[in-house]
Amino acid sequence: MRAARILTGLIGLLLAVAGGARAEPGAHGQVRSLKVTILSTMLADGAELGEWGFAALVEADGHRLLFDTGAHADLVAQNAQSLGLDLGTVPEVILSHAHSDHVGGLLFLRRSLAARHPQALARAHVAEGIFYPRRAGDAAGEANAMLAIKPAYEKTGGVFIVHRGPIQLYPGLWLTGPVPRRYRERNWGGNDRVVTPEGITEDNVPEDMSLVCDTAAGLVILTGCGHAGIVNIVTYAREFVRPARVHALLGGLHLFNASDETLDWTAERLAAVGVDNLLGAHCTGIEAVYRLRRGLGLDRAHAVVGAVGASFALDEGIDPRNLAR
């Protein structure tokens, strides 16, 4: 048992070091088969449950990854079972950032799956900054739940892989790492503080990370909350992957309380790049989806509010489920 733990630690160290590397330009590939299914968001239908949180199952060219884990411990597990999706064969999880509505299900999922599937969710991809200490306003005490989750997850044999920059996990399947804030998109709220190596500063969620899939039709970008700003994320993805149009924007864009001016500016910037599909879930906001739909020139088949069970597939487009049509 001790030898196994040592081996796991060594593997984790190697993976963590590799996590800061960039793929060589000539090694870029493309995703040929892709399906993203929402497992946690507010809207739900039938036997599934809704919550203020986000999670999605990504299936790309035979690779299966869980993107975020929702807020409540067992909700993603329940919704996956209801939808007939087996998370026991998902070896990797991506955590977009440290907020509890995205990491709340990690420990339950890992512990409940590991007994029968030791490799299930055994590798967790995160961006640098996710383990920074946090302060919630003037409240005392640690506000970053990831600092308690980390040792508990590692005790199960799980390994965190910290990414300091963009990395190609598999051909055409990229993580952004921390996203440069070129534009002043304030896609976060509150007066929280974060303790960085440079000192204490406003918590703008520096670790916010997205998944980018390069396909023949364009880029498919999946975000948890898009705290870095969706225009910043799209701009950055088009730099390190390729300057393609965006075939699909999926997930949370944190625009639910954005002003009309912000929504118009966001739609204008995205329209200049070109967006074919929008599945706005979680913190995007219902009204924001409709405003972006209009600004991007999309119809109701190509821009919808995301619900649990809704999906996007390269060969089928958006399947919104009945609730979000």
pLDDT in tens, 97-124: 999 999 999 999 999 999 999 999 999 9
Considering the chain, what percentage of its residues have pLDDT values greater than 70?
A: 91
pLDDT at residue 19, as a whole number: 44
Q: Rounded distance, CA 171 to CA 159, Å?
A: 22
305, 309, 310, 301: which is closest to 276 by C-alpha?
Answer: 301
Q: pLDDT tens, 200-244?
A: 999 999 999 999 999 999 999 999 999 999 999 999 999 999 999
Task: Determine the Cα–Cα distance for residues 17 and 162; give it in Å rounded to an integer.
Answer: 8
* AA identity, residue 129: G
255/157 Cα distance (integer angstroms): 37
Per the domain annotation, does 76 fall within a domain?
Answer: yes
C-alpha to C-alpha distance for 230 and 267, rounded to whole angstroms: 10
Give the tens place of pLDDT for each residue, 122-157.
Answer: 999 999 999 999 998 877 889 999 999 999 999 999
In a domain, 14, yes or no: no
Is 139 within a domain?
A: yes
Phi/psi of residue 64, nearest 5 degrees: -120, 125
Report if residue 7 sits inside a domain: no
Q: Which two tokens stand for residue 21?
A: 């590397």
In whole angstroms, what is the distance from residue 69 CA to residue 109 CA?
A: 8
Sheet arrangement for strand 199-202: 134-135, 193-196, 199-202
Cα separation of 226 and 231, whole Å? 9
150 Cβ contact partners less than 8 Å away, ≥ 6 residues apart: 131, 160
**pLDDT for position 66:** 98
> For residue 12, is pLDDT > 70?
no
- Domain of residue 199, CATH code: 3.60.15.10
Burial 154-172, CB ≥16 within 10 A → b, else e: beebbbbbbbeebbbbebb
Residue 172 lies in a domain: yes
User: Is the pTM value of this prediction over 0.85?
Assistant: yes
What pLDDT band is residue 46 in, cutting at 50, 70 and 90? confident
| pLDDT grade for 4, boundaries at 50, 70 and 90 | very low
Residue range of the domain that includes 145:
28-324
Answer yes or no: is 3 within a domain.
no
Domain count, the chain: 1
Would you state the structure tokens that stand for residue 307, as one six-digit string? 């619900």
For residue 8, being part of any structural domain is answered with no
